[in-house]
Amino acid sequence: GPKVLQIPSHQIIDMGQMVTLNCDPVSNHLYFYWYKQILGQQMEFLVNFYNGKVMEKSKLFKDQFSVERPDGSYFTLKIQPTALEDSAVYFCASSPGGLNTEVFFGKGTRLTVV
Amino acid sequence: GDSVTQTEGQVTVSESKSLIINCTYSATSIGYPNLFWYVRYPGEGLQLLLKVITAGQKGSSRGFEATYNKEATSFHLQKASVQESDSAVYYCALSDRWNQGKLIFGQGTKLSIKP
């Protein structure tokens, strides 16, 4: 089936540094999402993105977070600066849009802030 | 607020036995949610197992079934006879029907199958 690819699968970063998580969504999908899962907790919605704009963000989407998809390439989540509490698995997802369409998830990037 | 609860973090079932994984939800701001079961097999990404958008209806896939019970606010996942290949983590979720990519997930239930 369609695949969402996330690169890398694991990233370790020093607190205060910038990190960019990359996602290659399913081609021809129009809606893009990031979710965050802290170890032992539920997966939680961060943000959705459509037509070059953030459509909705949750309270977990701090000011230090930003998303973009320049020129239809990777959909990225940037955290600048990182904090210890940003350590989590981040899942990218995409969907074609419209009613009753399926959302496809990547395998996640485990971010460890030290 | 809106939430999904899965009471069992881990379930172990013997092969060929029946399975039920409990899921209840609260949808206070979403009047009429869509309900989903997602599954993550070892080493794989999260994938949709089944979804139901109408109360009273049953969804089914790969031998699994779940019925949208609006009165009980439940969406339990059942299978009559599990196989070793069903070992995975199962997530119950809900969304607004107009914003289906914004999913609210349960904690997940890890299913282990005893041979």
Is the pLDDT assigned to residue B99 strictly greater than 90? no
B45·A41 Cβ contact <8 A: no
The residues in A 57-76 lying below 8 A from B, measured between CB atoms, are: none
**What's the whole-number mean pLDDT along residues B45-49?**
94
pLDDT at residue A81 greater than cutoff 90: yes
pLDDT of residue A33: 97
Q: If you average pLDDT over residues B63-72, what whole number do you get?
A: 97
Select the residue from A45, A58, A109 to test the B interface by mutation, using most B Cβ atoms within 10 A. Answer: A45
Closest Cα in chain A, distance from residue B106 (Å): 6
3-state class (DSSP) for residue B37: strand
CA dihedral over A14, A20, A25, A29, signed as positive or negative = positive
Q: For position A36, what pLDDT does the model report?
A: 98
| Whole-number pLDDT of residue B88 | 98
User: Is B9 within 8 Å of chain A by CB?
Assistant: no
Which chain B residues are closer than 8 Å to A108 by Cβ? Answer: 45
pLDDT recorded at residue A9: 94
* pLDDT of A98 strictly over 80: no
pLDDT value of residue A61: 97
Give the residue-averaged pLDDT of B39-55: 94
- From chain A residues 18-47, the ones with a CB under 8 A of any chain B CB are 31, 33, 35, 41-45
The pLDDT of residue A30: 92
**Is a pLDDT exceeding 90 seen at residue A77?**
yes
Chain B contact present for A103, CB below 8 A? yes
Does a cis peptide bond (omega within 30 degrees of 0) precede residue A96?
no
CA distance B59 to B53: 9
Look at chain B and count its residues: 115
Distance, CA of B104 to CA of A93 (rounded, Å):
14
Distance from CA of A100 to the nearest CA of B (A): 7
d(CA A13, CA A36) in angstroms, rounded, equals: 17
Poorest-pLDDT segment among A15-29, A75-89, B89-103: B89-103
Instruction: Check A105 against B47: CB less than 8 A apart.
Output: yes
Query: According to the model, what pLDDT value does residue A1 have?
Result: 79
B61: chain A residues, CB-CB within 8 Å: none
Beta bridge partners of B50: B37
Residue B113: count of CB within 10 angstroms of its CB: 19
Structure confidence at residue B1 (pLDDT): 85
Residue A72 has pLDDT above 90, yes or no: no
